Structure 1
Amino acid sequence: MWSWAELPAARVVRLDAPDPDALTLSIDPLPEDAPAIATYFAAPAPSAAALVAEVLSQLETAAAGLYPAWLPGAEGITAGGAGVSAVRALAFRLASGSGHFGPFLAQLAETSLAGAARRPTRFAPEVRAAGLARVLAAGFRRSRAALLVHVPPGLTVAEEEALVSGCEWLAYRGELGMWLTGAPLLAVDRVEAMTVRRPATETAPVPLDVPQTAARALRFPAVAGMPHPASSAEKALEAALASREWARGRAWNQTHQSGPLTNPIRVDLLWRDERCVVEIDGPEHRVRGNFEADRRRDVQLQLDGFAVLRFTNAHVMTDTDAVVVQIERFLQDRRAGTFEGSRYA
């Protein structure tokens, strides 16, 4: 039995788990002993090179979304003017004291700052694989990174070989842990199998907030302190709150744990002093299992003294002002000690 910390880096292994989806859910929030883990939903690929190209493309998109978490000092730098020069200088400074390759990191920082569609890169796949693995790890303040790869069912012998060979290349070149789950491997027998040890808990894992929107998709947990890069609704709400003085004290994607035997609960937005939690729900939260898990989580938070305000993605995106007004009213009532006629302490 293996914990996340004990799983190998720079290798391809098969993780035996009775429920691959539960395995994915258990890494959001990331366990303290885990590397930075992104989840990749693989699709049949015609060759190992095609799989590698797709994974690198997805990792570049993820790196841009995670910016500036992986580039210390870049917070607050805006595109235009001296912004590009500033982030490039920060990238080279970071690279000088770390394992990052300066030119690659500088280009990635420039592209991330601009927020534009990814441009063709002049760097070889080997450079991109190593650089993106380091960026993923840095974004979560971890020393290494891994991909949890969901193997699709029904692969042909050639497709299974392409998947495993591509993962082996990424493990070697990027020093990534490539951990396979999902459908079993029926043709390739060179991948070691391991069983992941998960601690017994009193509560179910928290559903991921980012649904699988395409067959080939890479998703990753939220980074504490910032809206989830894959959530337009979280980013829109943060943009609306940023200039409002009453919104002080907010913290995105924080964890709360009721006790040592319970799973940490990741909440979208938290005002800890006011004990106010704001959740922003996408359509996946209407699925029966997720809906039930949300209700259990809400009850636990309420038992611990938190109020939970829930809004849908659509509500936030189409009527942001109304959402902001409702949050403001709740916080102001809490601060005044008049919420629901009771004294707030």
Structure 2
Amino acid sequence: MARSWRELPTGRVVHLHAGQDMHLHGDPDAVALAIDPLPDDAPALVTYVPRPAGAPAAVVADVLRELESAALAMFPAWLPEADGITGTGGAAVPAVRAHALRAGSATRHFAPFLAHLAERALRERARGVTAGSGTAGRAGTFPPEIRAAGLARVLCSGYRRAEAAILVRMPPDFSPSAEEVLVAACEWLAHHGGFGVWLIGPPLRSVDRIETVTAPIPEGVAALVREVEPGGGEEFPPPTLTFPPLAGSPHPGSAAERRLEAALSPCAWAAGREWNQLHASGPLSNPIRVDLIWRAERCVVEIDGPEHLSPRRLAADGQRDLRLRRDGYAVRRFTNEQVLERLGTVLAELERFLHQCRRGTFEGSLHA
């Protein structure tokens, strides 16, 4: 059993199970809950849900498109020298390319690929293009091998991690041929990109060359998964690729977080907010990642997507909220739909919530 995420292999494909307890074998919920927030000793981790494909090359192409979309959305986290460069007029494009070329010459990045990706990110940000909008994949003349290795390094740079890994959620109903196609594609990504490719979900049925490794699941997460049934089928299928947020800014893959931040920016009453920060009850406690926090006012706001409706996620959210309230924080939750469809109402409720926290009168706080 791996005692830490650092001990899990990179550069090859393994199948992860969530613990010696047979109840946890093949349970992706345990892994998903264990990596939110991303553990300090973990590589840069993204989660991929495979789509049906007839050949390994098609799977590889799909993964690279999704990784490019994530990298473009994360810009300039992986090229911090370009922070503050906006638009595409004047010296903006030459400047961002120059920063990328200099970064490439001083690091393991392939400078031409990094410059190309940085220019694309700048142009798409200027056009208001967002993650998941289907614009990724225009990779110029770079072959898949260059893109795979380059994107792995971009992920490492963006998350300040030494290595990168892809969690692949195995569908329960894959045919033997589809399983072989997917595993072959994963082996290609591990070999050419240097990724750790970690399969999660049901055990492989037809491919027998993949080692099984036990993931380091905290006991609290394991207990929750044992006690709470997963519920029925997913009413809202997960995105093809998900990736962790970046501390200090709205999640680049969340339209709701980005729209809320744009609405809060001109509001004087919203000063002091911080996006996607960690909170720990004490030096030995596992940290909690909160979407939006006002530390001085001791209040937290969470923006929930449809995945928060699953029984296990609801139970985990309840535990998190209880810990935060015990630590003296008030907690308010909004859904993506509320933010995107009734933004004015959300802003009014949020302003009232903050004023109540500042006066110490919010009824959900232990200091009320």
Give the TM-score normalised by structure 2: 0.84
1:113 and 2:135 correspond: no
What's the CA shift string for 1:315-344, capped at 9, x where partnerless? 211232332333334334544x453599x8
State the aligned residue count: 340
Cα shift at 1:45? 2.3
Other-structure match for 1:92: 101
Q: Which runs of 5+ in 2 are unaligned?
A: 19-24, 130-134
What are the equivalent positions in structure 2 for 1:309-328 lying under 5 Å apart?
A: 309-328=332-351
Contact 1:79 1:113 in 2 (8 A): yes
Q: Give the whole-Å Cα distance in 2 for the aligned partners of 1:94 and 1:132.
A: 15
1:261 positional shift: 5.7
Residue identity opposite 1:36 in structure 2? A
| 2:31 counterpart (23, 32, 45) | 23
Cα distance, 1:285 vs structure 2: 2.4
Worse-matched range after superposition: 277-286 or 195-204:
195-204
Q: What are the ranges of 5 or more consecutive residues in structure 1 without an aligned counterpart?
A: none
Give the Cα–Cα distance (whole angstroms) in 2 for the partners of residues 45 and 304 of structure 1. 48
Whole-angstrom distance in 1 between the partners of 2:66 and 2:5: 23
What CA distance in whole angstroms lies between the structure 2 residues aligned with 1:239 and 1:198?
36
The aligned residue for residue 229 of structure 1 is 252
CA RMSD of aligned residues (A): 2.6
Distance 1:198 1:293, change over 3 A: closer
C-alpha separation between the residues in 1 aligned to 2:340 and 2:96?
30
2:213 aligned with 1:191, yes or no? no
For residues 215 and 187 of structure 1, do their structure 2 counterparts lie closer, same or farther at Cα, with a shift above 3 Å needed? Answer: farther
**Native 8 Å contact 1:41 1:217 kept in 2:** yes
Change (3 A) 1:231 1:288: same
Per-residue deviation, 1:193: 1.5
Q: Is 1:247 paired with 2:270?
A: yes
Aligned to 1:52: 60
For residue 95 of structure 1, what is the amino acid of its counterpart? G
Partner of 2:22: none
Cα pair 1:201 1:261 within 8 Å, conserved: no
Distance in 2 (alpha carbons) for counterparts of 1:106 and 1:186: 43
Residue in structure 2 matching 1:155, options 174, 186, 190? 174
Question: Residues 338 and 21 (structure 1 numbering): CA distance in 2 closer, same or farther, change over 3 Å?
Answer: closer
Question: How far 1:197 moved relative to its partner?
Answer: 2.5
Equivalent residues in 2 for 1:65-214, closer than 5 Å: 65-81=73-89, 82-115=91-124, 116=129, 117-118=135-136, 119-201=138-220, 204=224
The CA deviation string for residues 36-83 of structure 1, in whole angstroms up to 9 with x for no partner, is 011111233211111111111111111112112111133332223233
* Identical-pair percentage: 54
Does structure 1 residue 277 correspond to structure 2 residue 277?
no
- Gap change, CA 1:258 and 1:215, over 3 Å in 2: closer
Moved more, 7-16 or 215-224: 215-224
Secondary structure of 1:269's partner? strand
TM-score normalized with structure 1 length: 0.90
Structure-2 change in CA distance of 1:139 and 1:130 (3 Å): same
Amino acid at match of 2:215: V
Q: Does the residue aligned with 1:339 lie in a helix, a strand or coil?
A: coil
